[in-house]
Amino acid sequence: MATQAQPSTHLTAARQLLDEVGAADGDDPQVKATAAVAHATLVLAEQVAAVRLVMSANAVNGKGAAATPAISAAN
């Protein structure tokens, strides 16, 4: 069974708003800094959503954990 990504309406709206802020002509450094932080937060949210999708697909397909943490050689 194939799982297709459905972008969250919240993430889509946030991306559109961020694009509008970025397209606005203005040299205010605080606006630019805020837009940069918002962009970083949005990218992280999109990555978390993608990981959750993969984890859900693995659970549905009975694959269990996708990866196991590496054990340090120092232990």
Residue 48 falls inside a structural domain: yes
Q: What is the end-to-end Cα distance of the chain in Å, rounded?
A: 40
Instruction: Give me the tens of pLDDT residue by residue for the chain, a chain 75 residues long.
Output: 455 556 678 778 877 887 887 777 677 888 888 888 888 898 898 899 899 999 999 999 887 655 554 555 554
* H or E element that contains 42: helix 29-60
Number of domains in the chain: 1
- Give the integer Cα–Cα distance in Å for 3 and 34: 35
pLDDT reported for residue 52:
92
Domain that holds residue 42: 28-59
59 DSSP assignment = H
The verdict on residue 11 lying in a domain is no
Q: What is the pTM of this model?
A: 0.58
Q: For the residues of 19-34, what is the DSSP string, one character each?
A: HHHHHS----HHHHHH
